[in-house]
Amino acid sequence: MNVLFVASECSPFVKTGGLADVIGSVPKALEHLGHTIKILLPAYPDVSGWLKHGDVLLELEDLFGGPARVYSVRAKGLNLLLLDAPHLYDRKGTLYLDEEGFDWEDNPVRFGALSLIGAKIGLDGIGGWKPELVHVHDWQAGLVPVYMKQSGRQAPPTVMTIHNIAFQGLFDGSVVQTLGLSEGMFNPDGFEYWGHAGFLKGGLAFADKITTVSPTYATELLTPEFGMGLEGLLRSRKQDLSGILNGIDLTVWDPQEDSALVKTYSPKSLKRKAANRQWLEDRFNLVSNADAPLFGVVSRLTTQKGLDLLLEVIPTLIERNARLVVLGNGDKKLEEAYLAAAAQAPDHVAVEIGYNEELAHQIQGGVDALLVPSRFEPCGLTQLYALRYGTIPVVSRTGGLADTVVDANAAALATKCATGIQYSPSTVEALEMAVHRTCDLFSDNKKWKSMMRRAMFAEVGWDQSAKLYEELYQSLVK
């Protein structure tokens, strides 16, 4: 089947979070099943180097204020359709934020344009290639189903995936005119959200099927606590909503081949993992202590991720002689609070503010346990990387974290199926208990080692989920 993906990020080219990892890996798994996936992606500066290797398949004199071209490139095992529109995407700063850290003012135009071109390719095809289905991801691609619907033409079916409902792409109603959207669809049954234009809402209203990235999050989304104002719409579309768990790229995240590690290892050579821990401890000048775990965090520093809660548990962690390495960036107050925590206990707490892919691998390989104390988590990928690296995930029981980690309760330990620690609710107290449980388990070397081994055998690739996407696509394409 020919499927067009429309998304704003794609690893290894441009990434701010897990969305990129998913867009960069699930197409490969679908290709193994015999499908052709092409990914429409803006040609930001980080990808524009690939344009010279591509063919121009579409040229427009004016796409909301400047010329645009779509290039087709095969790069790193992916079929990219790069939307080159320098007036929209060729700028310093990050994908969504300017150099001062504010949302680009013209984000509705930047991603309206991406959606418009997605819809055009959906309807007309490109370079002789015709998608039989269009799969759009998150708010940045949310207007694709809207534009296709308003064309009134026969269009391929659409699937919209919610990676995080906290980001809805809500903009002033004036964008309806700027983006040439139909006034007739700007109402509460369409893409209007309390007077604003809602990009995600539009996608959810008009896509044929809706998916999200874990079964638990799919049920959570129907509640006011997690649905963030869209629970009513999602409840009305419950029959069309399902949760398909994310997987990871097993070649990118492989402790047996990972060149970022000082020593690679497998379930059979777990002892070698210790060298990676030593390396991390040395790099950050942490005290070594074989009797207590080294905890790690690799995350955006935001309240979604519950990292304000973890700050309060640091004293407990230190009391237990455990140590902590944090790699992250985001909320400035949290960044400062973590730097202050590290300054206060430099032997036990190390913090690196910033985005560092290599260090992310080194932390996954080096720590004993990875903390993911999220308040909500659509899927979460870092706990999957941890499992693969024999690093025990310690997670709050929500969304995809609930679906991917088997808690080491007495029954699971007895039947040898535990792969990590889960706790609930997402509070300081419960997290503190989880840290105690982790330290207790760690001191039982035999139990801990067998849990590490089991974690490494957990199914975290795309095999199963790619088949579920395939089934969903086939149900729509007759």
Contact footprint for ligand GLC (CB under 6 A): 17-19, 22, 163-164, 213, 246, 377-381, 400
Residue 298 interacts with which of ligand GLC, ligand ADP, none, CB < 5 to 8 Å by class: ligand ADP
Q: Please state the closest distance from residue 193 (CB atom) to ligand ADP, in A.
A: 22
Residue 360 within binding range of ligand ADP, rule CB under 6 A: yes
Q: How many CA atoms, within 13 angstroms, populate the side-chain half-sphere of residue 393?
A: 32
Q: How many CA atoms, within 13 angstroms, populate the side-chain half-sphere of residue 64?
A: 25
Q: What is the CA radius of gyration of the chain?
A: 23
CA-angle at 158, arms to 194 and 235, nearest 5°: 45
Of 353 and 406, nearer to ligand ADP (C-beta) is 353
Q: Which residues have C-beta within 8 Å of that of residue 456, sequence separation ≥ 6?
A: 255, 266, 267, 387, 388, 389, 390
Residue 213 interacts with which of ligand ADP, ligand GLC, none, CB < 5 to 8 Å by class: ligand GLC
The DSSP 8-state label assigned to residue 43 in this structure reads -
Q: Please state the closest distance from residue 216 (CB atom) to ligand ADP, in A.
A: 14
Stretch in the footprint of ligand ADP (CB under 6 A) among 92-100, 181-189, 202-210, 323-331: 323-331
Of 328 and 390, nearer to ligand ADP (C-beta) is 328
Chain-centroid distance of CA 387 in Å reads 16
Map the footprint of ligand ADP across residues 65-94, applying CB under 6 A: none
Q: Please state the closest distance from residue 384 (CB atom) to ligand GLC, in A.
A: 9
Q: Are 72 and 112 in contact (CB under 8 A)?
A: no
Stretch in the footprint of ligand ADP (CB under 6 A) among 15-23, 116-124, 128-136, 177-185: 15-23
Q: What is the size of the binding site for ligand ADP (CB under 6 A)?
A: 18
Of 10 and 22, nearer to ligand GLC (C-beta) is 22
Of 80 and 359, nearer to ligand ADP (C-beta) is 359
Residue 356 interacts with which of ligand GLC, ligand ADP, none, CB < 5 to 8 Å by class: ligand ADP
Closest chain position to ligand ADP (CB): 18
| Other beta carbons within 10 Å of 340 | 12
CA distance 35 to 29: 9
Which of 13, 18, 38, 370 touches ligand ADP by CB under 6 A? 18
Q: To which residue do tokens 């210790």 refer?
A: 274
Stretch in the footprint of ligand ADP (CB under 6 A) among 48-56, 96-104, 295-303, 331-339: 295-303
Residue 299 within binding range of ligand ADP, rule CB under 6 A: yes
Which of 382, 391, 398, 426 touches ligand ADP by CB under 6 A? 382
Give me the helix-helix angle, 199-206 and 144-151, nearest 10°. Answer: 60
Q: 320 vs 138, 167, 309, 315, 414, CA distance in Å?
A: 41, 38, 18, 9, 26
Residue 211 interacts with which of ligand ADP, ligand GLC, none, CB < 5 to 8 Å by class: none
Stretch in the footprint of ligand ADP (CB under 6 A) among 40-48, 95-103, 378-386, 413-421: 378-386
Residue 357 interacts with which of ligand GLC, ligand ADP, none, CB < 5 to 8 Å by class: ligand ADP
Q: Are 159 and 211 in contact (CB under 8 A)?
A: yes
Tokens of 408: 């080491």
Helix (H, G, I), strand (E, B) or coil at 241: strand
Site string for ligand ADP, 327-346 (x = CB under 6 A): xxx-----------------
Helix (H, G, I), strand (E, B) or coil at 71: strand
Pick from 410, 407, 411: nearest CA to 395:
407
**DSSP H or E segment with residue 447:** helix 445-457
CA distance 100 to 122: 36
Residue 328 interacts with which of ligand ADP, ligand GLC, none, CB < 5 to 8 Å by class: ligand ADP
Binding footprint of ligand ADP on the chain (CB under 6 A): 17-19, 21, 298-300, 327-329, 355-357, 360, 379-382
